[in-house]
Chain A
Amino acid sequence: GAVVSQHPSWVICKSGTSVKIECRSLDFQATTMFWYRQFPKQSLMLMATSNEGSKATYEQGVEKDKFLINHASLTLSTLTVTSAHPEDSSFYICSAMQRARVYGYTFGSGTRLTVV
């Protein structure tokens, strides 16, 4: 079946530094990927839609200059949290759409970001 690999699974960084999270579709091409954020014991909040070869579309309230998304190929999307602060600490999850309306979406395993 479709597999989405997300790395790293966890990262600790200092305030002010930037962190890059990768999301790869391993056995299919994903023209569209989605990035979500999840706080403890809460649901997933959609941050942005990443389209291969074009600029990402951000949801209302999400700072595009803080959360840089690049979807340079059909199998890779990256999320960079720039100048991270403790309030950016969260669980970030990507998903890829492959014939989503028939089979549903495939999610990565998530990245736990802790900013100290």
Chain B
Amino acid sequence: SQQGEEDPQALSIQEGENATMNCSYKTSINNLQWYRQNSGRGLVHLILIRSNEREKHSGRLRVTLDTSKKSSSLLITASRAADTASYFCATDAAGNTGKLIFGQGTTLQVKP
């Protein structure tokens, strides 16, 4: 079953602009992770934020987590055409199952 929703479902921006994607989830979590998937390919892990963290940075990526609202956002700054891909949030639910439950994903298109 899906953990939650992401919005927007699709996003189209110009190169150099920032892209923001949001993710909501339903249960308590150990951590939340963001992944990128290029068309028809596997997933690439971008960043992991623990439940006791509120913000994390990695290069041009900035992730926030609000556990009171059960939501997270991914900001990609100074976007590039190569950032065109689908982006998924995934939650590692509290407990020790280790299962990842994915959001619906946001398809990002960055126009050169």
Seen from chain A, the residues whose Cβ lies within 8 Å of a Cβ on chain B are 6, 32, 34, 36, 41-46, 49, 59-60, 91, 93, 95, 97, 100-110, 112
Across the interface, A93 reaches (CB within 8 A) one of B1, B33, B43, B101, namely: B43
Smallest CB–CB gap between A42 and chain B, Å? 8
Say whether B48 contacts A49, CB under 8 Å.
Answer: no
Q: A43-B88, A104-B48 are in contact. Are A49 and B42 (CB under 8 A)?
A: no
Say whether B99 contacts A112, CB under 8 Å.
Answer: no
Within 8 A of A (CB), among B65-94: 88, 92
Say whether A43 contacts B33, CB under 8 Å.
Answer: no
Which of B35, B41, B43 is packed against the most chain A CB atoms within 10 Å? B43
Smallest CB–CB gap between B37 and chain A, Å? 9
Say whether A104 contacts B45, CB under 8 Å.
Answer: yes
Alpha-carbon distance between A49 and B100 when the two chains are bound, in angstroms: 10
Alpha-carbon distance between A93 and B2 when the two chains are bound, in angstroms: 16
Residue of B nearest to A2 (CB): B45
Alpha-carbon distance between A42 and B1 when the two chains are bound, in angstroms: 13
A108: chain B residues at CB < 8 Å are: 42
Across the interface, A91 reaches (CB within 8 A) one of B40, B100, B102, namely: B40
For the complex of A and B, the 3 pairs showing the least CB-CB separation, nearest first, are: A104-B45, A109-B42, A107-B43
Say whether A110 contacts B41, CB under 8 Å.
Answer: yes
Residue of A nearest to B89 (CB): A43
Whether a CB of chain A sits under 8 angstroms from the CB of B31 is yes
A100: chain B residues at CB < 8 Å are: 92, 98
Smallest CB–CB gap between A61 and chain B, Å? 9
